[in-house]
Amino acid sequence: MLRKVFILATVSTLVIGCATNTVKTPPIIPVDASTLNHELSQQESRLIDMIEKVSVEQQSEIIDLTHAITSLKSSVEHCKPNPQTPSVAVIEDCDANSIIGEKYVLGEVEHVFIDELKASFDTRIDTGAESSSLDARNIILFERDGDDWVRFDVFTLGESGPAQTFESKVERFVRIKQDAQNKSDRRPVIHAHLRIGQYAAETDLNLSNRSHLEYPLLLGRKFMKDIAVVDVSQKFIHGSSSTARFKLTQ
């Protein structure tokens, strides 16, 4: 009997405990269609406001970025170096037709003044000859202060006038072979300062008898290298004998 009473008491206690721990679920409030539409409309308005706010902020940032790019382009333009054209030295009073780029144009024949002789000569400009040569007569070699010197005569006024005697230090000797049958000719070489019109240059001249040739002075390729080109269709581009003498007396 006591066992039955104990079992009933235990079951009662368990039932009371379960009843005490049971969670009460709040009642579900029904929502009608108008209330739901109102809530959705409010959420939609909030979303639109947020999107518009973000769009305005992005637009402002885009404008600021555009201004920054424009300012940067302007700074780059100011930093660009001004293009400079290479300067070309042009001698005053020089005929434009006598210059191509940075090179002088020489005719087949030009009038050339030699400073050391204080005389001018009609001169053959010959691209076929390597060296330059001056007509000299009575060539005599001698020694001065241990150096080789040469004494020679030049017809500065032409064959009809008297020859003048000059002396110059010998820079070196060259051997010129005229043809296969003849032996090479050993010639002394002197250094000279030349003027062709307004153009001045230095070159070496070998001395030889050119009485059998038309022109007393010949300028070859070494003289013209890197400084001049030859137009064989023209003569006296830089002035004839009379004009050259007039310029030199100014």
pLDDT higher than 80, residue 59: no
- The answer to whether the beta carbons of residues 154 and 163 sit under 8 Å apart is yes
pLDDT tens for 197-222 read 888 889 999 999 999 999 999 999 88
**Residue 49 — φ and ψ, nearest 5°?**
-60, -45
Of 170, 191, 174, nearest to 117 by C-alpha is: 191
Between 12 and 147, name the one with better pLDDT.
Answer: 147
Between 57 and 111, name the one with better pLDDT.
Answer: 111
Compute the average pLDDT of residues 54-78. 75
Chain-centre distance for alpha carbon 57: 50
- 3-state class of 82 per DSSP? coil
- The answer to whether the beta carbons of residues 110 and 125 sit under 8 Å apart is yes
Check: pTM over 0.85? Answer yes or no: no
pLDDT the model gives residue 77: 66
Per-residue confidence at 195, pLDDT binned at 50, 70, 90?
A: very high
- 3-state class of 4 per DSSP? helix
Q: Which domains does the chain have, with CATH numbers?
A: 96-243 (2.40.70.10)
pLDDT higher than 80, residue 3: no
Residue 11 in tokens:
């079951």
Residue 48 in tokens:
């639109």
Residue 186 in tokens:
């050993």
**Exposed, middle or buried, 8 (CB in 10 Å: 0-12/13-18/19+)?**
exposed
Residue 106 in tokens:
């020489």
Between 48 and 7, name the one with better pLDDT.
Answer: 48
Query: Cα(171)–Cα(193) distance, rounded to whole angstroms?
Result: 14
- The answer to whether the beta carbons of residues 195 and 112 sit under 8 Å apart is yes
- The answer to whether the beta carbons of residues 122 and 141 sit under 8 Å apart is no
Between 117 and 17, name the one with better pLDDT.
Answer: 117
pLDDT tens for 143-189 read 999 999 999 999 999 888 899 999 999 999 998 876 666 677 889 99
pLDDT the model gives residue 179: 63
Give per-residue burial for 132-148: e unless 16+ CB within 10 Å, then b: bbbbbeeeeeeeeeeee
Angle (CA) 160 126 117, round 5°: 45
DSSP run (H or E) holding 120: strand 119-125
pLDDT higher than 50, residue 42: yes
The 8-class DSSP code of residue 155 comes to -
Query: Cα(170)–Cα(143) distance, rounded to whole angstroms?
Result: 10
In this structure, are strands 147-154 and 137-144 parallel, antiparallel, or unpaired? antiparallel
Query: Cα(176)–Cα(160) distance, rounded to whole angstroms?
Result: 28
